[in-house]
Copies of this chain bind each other. A is one copy, B any other.
Amino acid sequence: MSAEIIDGKAFAAEVRAKVAEHVAKLAERGIKPGLAVVLVGEDPASQVYVRSKGKQTVEAGMESFEHKLDASTSEADLLALVDKLNNDPAVNGILVQLPLPDHIDEDKVINAIDPAKDVDGFHISNVGLLATGQKAMVPCTPLGCLMLLRDYFGSLSGKSAVVVGRSNIVGKPMAQLLLRDSCTVTIAHSRTKDIEDVVRQADIVVAAVGRPEMVTGDWLKKGAVVIDVGINRLPPAEEGAKGKLVGDVDFASASDVAGAITPVPGGVGPMTIACLLANTLTATCRANGLEEPEGLTA
């Protein structure tokens, strides 16, 4: 174990404090950012996330609007709610918690959100804006990873970065963000040949595949900085117990080789909601024609 631990929990607390500070300044102008979170159905994990989001939103001094809909809600009714929130000036950010029940078209719902209020950054307009280097709403998890990396390195220009995983939610936007910050970016995935060798080239490794402890120490260049986006629960050791939470990186072996590494839990995880709050603040500033807070956007 030689790697520096990147403390995402502490950094997320700093981000939230910065957001709260800006929110307090907005209050002097009579502006209170509002985040609407829509939950359809009773998925237990989603309920936990939505509760955390609501709690942290309020703690940052913002207004939290929770809309809990029955699992049988029709797509039309959900779209009608999105439309109402789009037109509600008290709502600056709209987040529809995924996954949605099977009878609802997720893409349709996400693309019905006003892009300016799309604090998850999943609307195709925001994806397109990010990909073309324009002002966008940026997905929260990759934004959180970017903040940790910028904090560690200062400038990312010229660093070689490998993103393992090509999801629309993490891998692909992460690659766009690293490219925008002038990294040389490689996207590796399940079809990549000799993936260990590819990863071993990189100064920066972002693992976002959802496979427990896939990236081991021997995949890493000495001194590489490793950002572990994975959150996987291992099978429990004994019946009735809870399995251990691990990332996509094998922390024990990786931390012997890496220069710095995010732990799981306590690394990227806490950054996601912090960035959701940051995005809501950014959306509020843009909606009011005010300057955006520094260091809280891409």
Contacts and interface: CB of A to CB of B under 8 A. Distances in A.
Q: How many copies does the complex hold?
A: 2
A191 B187 contact: no
A194 B125 CA distance: 35
A155 to B, nearest CB: 10
Interface string A196-209: 00100100000000
A193 B107 contact: no
Contact of A128 (B127, B191, B192): B127
Q: What band does the interface of chain A fall in when counting residues whose beta carbon is under 8 Å from B?
A: 20 to 34
Nearest to A123: B128
Contacts of A126: 128
Contacts of A132: 124, 127, 168, 172
Contacts of A193: 158, 160, 184
Contact of A125 (B128, B184, B187, B201): B128
A166 B184 CA distance: 10
A123 B132 CA distance: 10
A184 B184 contact: no
B133 A124 contact: no
Given A127-B131, A129-B124, A132-B127, A166 B189 contact: no
B133 A168 contact: yes
A185 interface: yes
A157 interface: yes
A157 to B, nearest CB: 5
Nearest to A122: B132
A177 interface: no
A139 to B, nearest CB: 11
Given A124-B129, A125-B125, A185-B187, 12 more contacts: A124-B125, A127-B132, A128-B128, A131-B131, A132-B168, A133-B168, A160-B198, A166-B179, A172-B179, A179-B189, A186-B186, A186-B187
A154 to B, nearest CB: 15
Contacts of A47: none
B186 A131 contact: no
A103 to B, nearest CB: 20
